[in-house]
Amino acid sequence: MKQSTPIPVRERARRAMRAELAMLAQDLFAAKGYEQTTIDDLVAAAGISRRTFFRYFTSKEDLVLGKYDAWSQMLVEGLAARPADEPVWESLRRAFDVVVEYFEDVTLAERSLAMEQVIHDNPALSAGELERISRVQGELAELVGARTGRQAATDPRPTVIAGAALACVVAAKDVWITTDRGRPFGTLLDEAMGALKPV
C-alpha cells in the first residue's frame, strides 16, 4: 500500500469546522425544516458571524451537499493509496469504505436518513447532488486512467468504470434508504458492485 501524504493541520481544522457546521445544520433542518432554516439561524446556533460561515460554505445548499466534496477528497485519497497491482474494481470498492462507514455509523443513522430525505424532497438539492457526483466521477476517472494506462480525456473506459462504480453506490444507497435497513450498507454495495464485471 502506498504511503499517503499527511493532511496539513490547517486543512484538518477546515474539514473539522465544516463537519461541525454540517452536523449543527442537520439538527436545525430536522427541527425546523430545510426551507424554514435560514443562514441567520445557522450562524446564531453556531455562535459565528455570517462572514465566518461563508469562509466554509457558499450557501445553504452547499452546506447540505458539502459531504460530497468531503467524500470526493477522501475517495481520491483512498483510491490513490491502494496497491498499484490491486484490480481497479477492488480498489474502488475499498475506497468506498468511507461511504459505508458514514451510512453504517449507528450514531449518525437517523441524521443520515433525515438528510437524504431533505435532498430527495428538494429538486434543487437533487440536481446539486447529481452535479457533485459527476465531479467525483471525473476525479476518480483520472485516477482509474492513471492506474490502467488509459487517459480519461481520450479513452472512455476510465470514465465508464468510475461512473459504474458510483452508480453502484447510488443504487445501494437507494435500496438501503427505502428498505428497513436490515442489511448493512456494505453488503448492499458488495452486491451491487458484484453484479458488474469490468474488463
Instruction: Looking at 36-184, list the stretches that DSSP marks H as alpha helix, in order from N- to C-terminal side.
Output: 39-46, 50-56, 60-80, 88-95, 97-104, 109-121, 123-148, 157-178
Judge whether 144 and 158 are in contact, CB under 8 Å: yes
User: Across 19-28, 59-68, 123-132, which has the greatest mean pLDDT?
Assistant: 123-132
| Mean pLDDT, rounded, for 91-101 | 93
Judge whether 87 and 147 are in contact, CB under 8 Å: no
**Does residue 4 register a pLDDT over 80?**
no
The whole-number pLDDT of residue 19 equals: 81
Judge whether 173 and 102 are in contact, CB under 8 Å: no
Q: What is the mean pLDDT of the chain?
A: 87
Domain ranges for the chain, please list them: 59-194
Least confident interval from 29-38, 49-58, 111-120: 111-120
| Mean pLDDT, rounded, for 124-152 | 90
Q: Per the structure block, which three cell numbers stand in for 165?
A: 462504480
| Mean pLDDT, rounded, for 12-19 | 82
The whole-number pLDDT of residue 190 equals: 96
* Domain 59-194, CATH number (from 3.30.360.10, 3.40.50.720, 1.10.357.10, 3.90.420.10): 1.10.357.10
pLDDT band at 195 (very low <50, low <70, confident <90, very high): very high
Q: What share of the chain is helix, strand, coil (3-state, %, to 5)?
A: 75, 0, 25
User: Across 36-45, 57-66, 119-128, which has the greatest mean pLDDT?
Assistant: 36-45
The whole-number pLDDT of residue 51 equals: 93
The whole-number pLDDT of residue 5 equals: 63
pLDDT band at 183 (very low <50, low <70, confident <90, very high): confident
Cα separation, 153 vs 141, in Å, equals 9
The whole-number pLDDT of residue 23 equals: 83
Judge whether 126 and 143 are in contact, CB under 8 Å: no
| Mean pLDDT, rounded, for 128-141 | 90
Judge whether 158 and 86 are in contact, CB under 8 Å: no
The whole-number pLDDT of residue 199 equals: 47
Least confident interval from 1-10, 50-59, 116-125: 1-10
Cα separation, 38 vs 25, in Å, equals 10
**Does residue 197 register a pLDDT over 80?**
no
**Does residue 141 register a pLDDT over 90?**
yes
Query: pLDDT, tens digit, for every residue of 28-50?
Result: 887 888 889 999 999 999 999 99
